Amino acid sequence: MDRHRSLDPFAISIMVVLCALWGSNQGILKLTAREVHPILQVGLRCLIASLLILVWAWFRREKLYLRDGTLLPGLLAGGLFAVEFLIVAVGLGFTTASHMSVFLYTAPIFTALGLHLRVPEERFGAAQWTGVILAFGGVFAIFAAEFVSGQPFDPLQLVGDAMAVLGGLLWAATTVVIKSTRLSEASPSKVTLYQLAIAAVVLLAFTPWLPSGNDYPFSGLMWASILWQAAIIAFASYLIWFWLMKTYSASKLSIASFLTPIFGVAFGVLVLDEPLTVNFAAGAVLILLGIAIVNGAFASRFSRA
């Protein structure tokens, strides 16, 4: 099939489901954090998903050799991925799932900036810079509004929001490493395995220092949540995403994926009963508009290529 094939109703429906799954991810971690610390949840999720990828590769007779020049960039990408989720897991203790979803998904903007510096074909034009300015204007507006509103606020939430932005930066750095090294030629299974396996090792290493609380024993619902995160979100959704990337236009898919933080905010407000202020909503709109403009500009460029 043509990789530049336009999105049809089937692909759009799949993307909506994927965005809903990814958007609910932070909310699920927040919802179950009282029973099991998010760091332990994500560590177990990555471990189980790594094992599923190994089974998948074995079933497809795919050889995951390490002597192909991908080991060092794979370790770097995996390390960045691990630190990102470590920061997200800790940050959820300070901020809401809604804020985490929006700020974390500034990653496409940081990715575009990184590729602009590393890959000559990805140089920015006026449209991309407009999108970047809008997105970071939205981030600044949300932070500034807390200080000028005159309403009492929790300074720790600003810490959590800042950690979410840092998580987006690390996510973008991971993407840039993948796009600009030998990992760009590796199979999706190998690239994903590097990230998940290293994250599992790093995150589970923090287990002895986590507050014990109600972490043990896990309830049936908690295990169901972890298995859902591992099998559906961390494993199946990414395989479906890679299939879409091979079948349809990657640039158009990237535009569709900006629906994810919208679902994240909806999950936080409707399920977790998180507040949705006018200031945050306005800033979030600017961020999403900036992301859409940046990705849309790249899509227009690729469609003319």
- Which tens digits make up the pLDDT trace of 55-64? 999 998 988 8
User: Among 27-36, 113-122, 172-181, whose mean pLDDT is lowest?
Assistant: 113-122
Separation CA 116–CA 122 (nearest Å)? 5
Please indicate, yes or no, if residue 4 is contained in any of the structural domains: no
The residue-averaged pLDDT of 164-171 equals 92
In contact, 73 and 149? CB cutoff 8 Å: no
Q: How many domains in the chain?
A: 1
Please indicate, yes or no, if residue 107 is contained in any of the structural domains: yes
Please indicate, yes or no, if residue 125 is contained in any of the structural domains: yes
The amino acid occupying position 34 is: R
Please indicate, yes or no, if residue 120 is contained in any of the structural domains: yes
Please indicate, yes or no, if residue 3 is contained in any of the structural domains: no
Determine which helix (DSSP H) or strand (DSSP E) holds 225, and give its type and residue range.
helix 220-228
For residue 168, the Cα-to-chain-centroid distance in whole angstroms is 7
Kindly report whether the global pTM for this prediction surpasses the value 0.85: no
Please indicate, yes or no, if residue 249 is contained in any of the structural domains: yes
Please indicate, yes or no, if residue 61 is contained in any of the structural domains: yes
In whole angstroms, how far apart are CA 18 and each of 4, 179, 234, 240, 256? 20, 22, 11, 9, 10
Give the range of the structural domain holding residue 189, as residue numbers without chain letter: 9-304
Residue 260 burial (C-beta neighbours within 10 Å; 0-12, 13-18, 19+): buried
Please indicate, yes or no, if residue 182 is contained in any of the structural domains: yes
Q: How confident is the model at residue 276 (pLDDT cuts 50, 70, 90)?
A: confident
